[in-house]
Chains A and B, each alone.
Chain A
Amino acid sequence: MSESVIEIRNLTKIYRDFWGRAKVKAVNSLSLEVKKGEIFGLLGPNGSGKTTTLKMLLGLLFPTEGEIKILGKQAHDVSKNEKIGYLPEESYLYRFLNADETLEFYGRLFNMPASLRKERRDKLIEMVGLQHARKRQLKEYSKGMTRRIGLAQALINDPELVILDEPTSGMDPLGTREVKDLILKLRDQGKTVVMSSHLLADVQDVCDRIAILYGGELKVLGDVKELLESKGETQLVTSKLDPSALAEVEAVLKKHGAALRSSSSPTASLEELFLRTVEESKARPGRRYAPGETPKA
């Protein structure tokens, strides 16, 4: 992989109250890098600082400490937004506009000419499947529909970097599948995607690399495949074996000094990793793991 699209160094965010007293340390000395063309997943339990991190990337929040480079620019530089698409955690849109008007409005903010605005609008509305509701005001939309128009809005400028805060929340399984396909398609087009999510299956399906945050600290960072590869194990998946065949396989394994630990279907192992990380972090606060390393069970 080539150049980095996002570089974060020692990023810290402390929320303060009105009097300037520290209230919450939402992000604690976070460093990471996102490379061009990858899908990067930000994981963590509720309140672990995912949204805060994304907002700092976009210049919505000001870091207490640390540095951010995004598309080679500072976070507060508005011109970086030309090439960024952002889907907020909840779709913060104008509820009195309809889908068409919404996309028209954001298109104008990109200074796009009218013909291009119309072309994109039609394409995106079709892509997120809202053709039937394009003239209805957003306040009548269901949660999933709002998510969809939010997603369309994030892609109006054909961005190079797409930042999605829980893109699949509130979506039905079909919608989730579509979003995942869309994210993969974006990568195929050479775009970079940063997403946060709780839905581990989604992350496991699409992300190239992930970071797991806990209490504002980076706990685990690495390639999804590598992270999930259990070093001391080999997993065999075969077609259905009858009990006698299974016994024979076991005998062979015994001969090689190995044991059959389980014979079930593969588990959703990201879930396992995630839970392990959270448990470990609770048990041993302050412990961090080297890139690629994972907490032991």
Chain B
Amino acid sequence: MNFLSEITTWLVVVLALGAVAGLTGIVTSWLMAGTRGVKMFAGVLSRGIKDLVLLSPRRIFAITSLTVRESVRRKALWIGAVFLLLFMFAGWFIGDAKESTPAKPYISFVMTTTRWMLLPVAVLLSCWGLPADIRDRSLHTVVTKPVRRSEVVLGRIAGYVAVMTTLLLGVSLVGFLWVQRVVPERAQRQLVSRVPIGGSGRTVKSTSTEELEEIRRNVGDQLDIRQFIEGATTERAIFVFDEIHEDLFPGSDDIRLEYRFEAFRSYKGDLNTEIEFAAEVVNEKTKARAAIGVYPVNEFSTEFAHVLNDGKEENLILLSRKLTYIPDGADAPIEADLFKDFIVDGQLKVEIACLDSQQYLGANSSDLFIRLPDRPFASGFWKSIFAMWLALVLTVTIGTTSSCFLKGPVSTLATTGLLVLGTFLKTGLLSRLNDFFLQGQTLGGGPVEAFFRTIWGMNESSPMDASPTTAAIQFIDGVVFNLLNVFQHLIPSLTVFDGTPYIANGFDVPLSTCILPSLFITIGFFIPCYIIGYFALQLRELEAK
């Protein structure tokens, strides 16, 4: 993820929104009251800037603690008790854990229930608080004190965040202990946070030619994401890892690589011996290559099993720092150091060859990764709880902002709708947008084209005939796509905030693809939401209408 370009996009979107809002404000105030109106608008704006910046922590804190009290008296914390009940009886329902990964369903259960029970609480609390405050006019008494309405917005958000934090901490602590208790003894070692360094992989006909020829071979399974190399040929799977340095592996002699290749047998063979592969490290510059070893493909389980049930570590390739290899032309092996002699500019290259004739080995980029020293389960768990906390902060922010100008029920619907749209539908939208902007077209065209295809009875893929009508349709679709492209930035997706896929599979939660993006998205929405919330409160009469 390129943060600089993301931040630039954010700035562009926020400034564009600001400009649209500003222009609308100027035009309407001018239409309504002429130059006096424009002056008033300028006044509102300059006061707004002051209000947004000159804040009093004590006043904000007063509103925060009021909000907390209100939520407590509304019995919001009782939701914690519901969790306790769930955890007590959950064991009955999570019986059929897959043999190879017994810990996974328990971890998923804790994360999923926590998420889907706390998010609605956050939505309800934040969407109903301010409207009730306005309806009961208790806000009248507050804003006739020297309180800036920006402080009301911030205090409210902070209050709900405090409540949600308490709930989340309580629930996740119980969940954390519960997982450790209920995961069967034999699978306790799956409660770990593995730290992978991924590389890029490709499958080639041969590594000796100048120009590498890619293999695209599927073994008939449409859904399979792997490419297959044939055994006992020159075909290889090549993996390249970048930015590999000694200090990543302090005090350990071996570098651990973990794999999850897939085997495909073109004939049955001996089912008691697994198909094997050989691994080599290669120096890209000197072409020196050293054998690492021969390993069995874990054929009979595509489910990822990094720790076998009997406790034996599986699927690991130990790459020793001290290697021996036979240089070109020499006939005796010499000693070498992995970091000095094989890693060029931080790049480690590993080649995989399938050893069994007429059998196939399937691989893709994520099938081989460097496994740094493991961290305790707590590391991944609490990181994903932090990401969930950010999701709650985002939800509370959006809820509170919408409740500044909408009534409770409407605000609830709006917030829920936005989150659901972002989390469940945004991926589809994004892939369409990608098709359009990167390939210049999408299957079946944009909305207008799709509409005409439907009424003209055309299928998705037959081309439209070149005519002015088609040109017009495609022009309108182009505009729609560009608008959608701006629009998609306004809907947050909670998918990024989910650390469950990592920790349920025994991985640590990565900073770069989970924590940091979540943090940036939260801040990115918080700032405009705060501004919108303030102006919405400031510019409305606080009468219940």
Q: Which chain B residues (120-148) contact chain A, with CB distance < 8 Å? A: 136-148
Q: Smallest CB–CB gap between A182 and chain B, Å? A: 19
For residue A61, which residues in chain B have a CB less than 8 angstroms away from its CB?
A: 541, 543
Q: Name the residue on B nearest A81 (C-beta).
A: B146
In the complex, the answer to whether B141 meets A153 with C-beta atoms within 8 Å is yes
CB distance from A195 to the nearest CB of B (A): 15
Q: For residue A101, which residue of chain B has the nearest CB?
A: B69
Q: How many residues of B contact A (CB 8 A)?
A: 28
Q: Are A92 and B141 in contact (CB under 8 A)?
A: yes
Mask of B420-441 contacts with A, CB within 8 angstroms, 1/0: 0000000000000000000000
When the two chains form their complex, are residues A111 and B140 in contact, meaning their CB atoms are under 8 A apart? no
A106 in contact with B140 (CB, 8 Å) = no
Tell me the complex Cα distance, A234–B267, Å.
Answer: 127
**Given the interface contacts A79-B146, A108-B61, does A60 sit within 8 Å of B140 by beta carbon?**
yes
* Contact assessment for B47 and A76 in the assembled complex, using a CB-CB cutoff below 8 Å: yes
Report the bound CA distance from A81 to B144 in whole Å: 6
* Distance A157 CA – B140 CA, assembled complex (angstroms): 17
Question: Could you mark each residue 40-83 of chain A with 1 if its beta carbon is under 8 Å from any beta carbon of chain B, else 0?
Answer: 00000000000000010011111000000000000010110110
Across the interface, do B542 and A60 meet the contact criterion of CB distance under 8 Å? yes
Q: How far does the Cβ of A111 sit from chain B's closest Cβ, in whole Å?
A: 5
Least distance between B58 CB and chain A CB atoms (Å): 5
| Given known contacts A84-B144, A108-B62, A18 and B545 CB-to-CB distance under 8 angstroms | yes
Quick check: A78 and B141 within 8 Å, CB to CB? no
**For the complex, is B356 an interface residue (Cβ under 8 Å from A)?**
no
Asked whether any CB of chain A lies closer than 8 Å to the CB of B205, the reply is no
Judging by beta carbons under 8 Å apart, are B142 and A109 in contact? yes
* Cross-interface CB contact of A88 among B59, B61, B140, cutoff 8 Å: B140
Does A105 lie within 8 Å of B62, measured CB to CB?
yes
How far, in Å, is B497 (CB) from chain A's closest CB? 32
Residue of B nearest to A18 (CB): B545
For residue B66, CB closer than 8 A to chain A, the reply is yes
Known: A60-B541, A78-B146, A106-B145. A92 touches B140 (CB 8 A): yes
Which residues of B have CB within 8 Å of A55? 140
Interface size of A in residues (CB-CB distance below 8 Å): 31
What are the residues of chain A within 8 A of B139 when measuring CB–CB? 92
Say yes or no: A108-B140 contact (C-beta < 8 A), given A61-B543, A78-B146, A78-B147: no
Question: Is residue A93 within 8 Å, beta carbon to beta carbon, of the partner chain?
Answer: yes
Cβ-closest chain B residue relative to A96 = B73
The answer to the question of B56 belonging to the interface, with a C-beta cut-off of 8 Å to chain A, is: yes
Contact B70 A88 (CB under 8 A): no
Enumerate B523-544 residues with CB–CB distance to A below 8 Å: 541-543
CB atoms of A88 and B146 under 8 A apart = no
| CB of A110 within 8 Å of the partner chain | yes
B56, B541, B542, most chain A CB atoms within 10 A: B541
How many Å from the CB of A99 to the closest CB on chain B? 14
Is the Cβ of A108 less than 8 Å from the Cβ of B541?
Answer: no
Q: Are A93 and B62 in contact (CB under 8 A)?
A: no
Could you say which residues of chain B place their CB within 8 Å of the CB of A93? 138, 141
Q: Which residues of B contact A18 (CB under 8 A)?
A: 545
**CB atoms of B58 and A108 under 8 A apart:** yes
- Bound Cα distance from A67 to B387, whole angstroms: 51
CB distance from B41 to the nearest CB of A (A): 13
Q: Which residue of A lies closest to B137 (CB)?
A: A92
Q: Does A94 contact B (CB under 8 A)?
A: yes
- Point out the residues of chain B lying under 8 angstroms from A82, CB to CB: 146
Closest to B69 in A: A96
Assess the B541–A62 pair: CB atoms within 8 A. Answer: yes
> Nearest chain A CB to B66's CB is how many angstroms away?
6
Taking the nearest CB of chain B, how far is it from the CB of A76, in angstroms?
7
Least distance between A109 CB and chain B CB atoms (Å): 4
Q: Which residue of A lies closest to B72 (CB)?
A: A96
131-185 of chain B: CB within 8 A of chain A: 136-148
- B146 contacts A86, C-beta separation under 8 Å: no
Contact of B58 among A59, A60, A92, A111 (CB under 8 A): A111
Cβ of A19 to closest chain B Cβ, rounded Å: 12
CA distance A62 to B136 in the complex (A): 19
Q: Does A97 contact B (CB under 8 A)?
A: yes
| Distance of B537 from chain A, by nearest CB (Å) | 12
Q: Which residue of the partner chain A has the closest CB to B149?
A: A78
Measured CB to CB, the closest approach of chain A to B137, in angstroms, equals 4
- CA separation between A61 and B542, bound complex, in Å? 7
Chain B contacts of A92 at CB under 8 A? 136-141
Taking CB atoms, residues of chain B closer than 8 Å to A157 are 145
Q: In the bound complex, do residue A60 and residue B144 qualify as a contact, i.e. CB atoms below 8 Å apart?
A: yes
Chain A: which residue is nearest B136 at the CB level? A92
Residue interface bits B208-229, CB-to-A below 8 A is 1, else 0? 0000000000000000000000
Q: Is A109 within 8 A of B59, CB to CB?
A: yes
Closest to A92 in B: B137
Task: Give the shortest distance, in Å, between B503 (CB) and chain A (any CB).
Answer: 39
A60-B541, A62-B541, A94-B70 as given contacts; A109 in contact with B137, CB under 8 Å: no
Least CB distance, A141 to chain B, in whole angstroms: 14
A111 to B55, CA, bound (A): 11
Give the docked Cα–Cα distance between A55 and B61 (Å): 26
B47–A109 CB distance below 8 A: no
Cβ contacts under 8 Å, B146 to chain A: 78-79, 81-82, 109-111
Q: Are B70 and A96 in contact (CB under 8 A)?
A: yes
Residues of the A chain whose Cβ atoms lie less than 8 Å from the Cβ of B541: 60-62
Cα distance A59–B140 in the bound complex, in angstroms: 10
Interface centre among A18, A101, A105, A109 (most CB of B within 10 A): A109
Cβ contacts under 8 Å, A91 to chain B: 141
Which residues of B lie under 8 Å from residue A79 when comparing CB positions?
146
What is the chain B residue whose CB lies nearest that of A74? B43
Which residues from B are CB-within-8-Å of A109?
59, 62, 142, 145-147
Q: Are B145 and A110 in contact (CB under 8 A)?
A: yes
Across the two chains, which residue of chain A brings its CB closest to B151? A109
Interface string of A154-165 (1 = CB under 8 A from B): 000100000000
Report chain A residues within 8 Å CB of B141. 86, 88, 91-93, 106, 153
CB interface residues, B 64-93, toward A, < 8 Å: 66, 69-70, 73
Give the interface of B toward A (CB within 8 A). Answer: 47, 51, 56, 58-59, 61-62, 66, 69-70, 73, 136-148, 541-543, 545
- Can you list the 10 inter-chain pairs with the closest CB atoms, starting with the nearest? A108-B62, A92-B137, A109-B145, A96-B73, A81-B146, A86-B144, A92-B138, A82-B146, A58-B144, A92-B141
What are 30 A-B pairs with beta-carbon distances under 8 A? A18-B545, A59-B144, A60-B542, A61-B541, A61-B543, A62-B541, A78-B51, A78-B143, A81-B145, A84-B144, A88-B137, A91-B141, A92-B139, A92-B141, A93-B138, A94-B66, A94-B138, A96-B70, A96-B73, A97-B66, A97-B69, A101-B69, A105-B62, A108-B62, A109-B59, A109-B62, A109-B145, A110-B145, A111-B58, A153-B141
* Extra A-B contacts (8), CB below 8 Å, given A58-B144, A59-B143: A55-B140, A60-B140, A61-B541, A84-B144, A92-B136, A92-B140, A97-B69, A111-B146
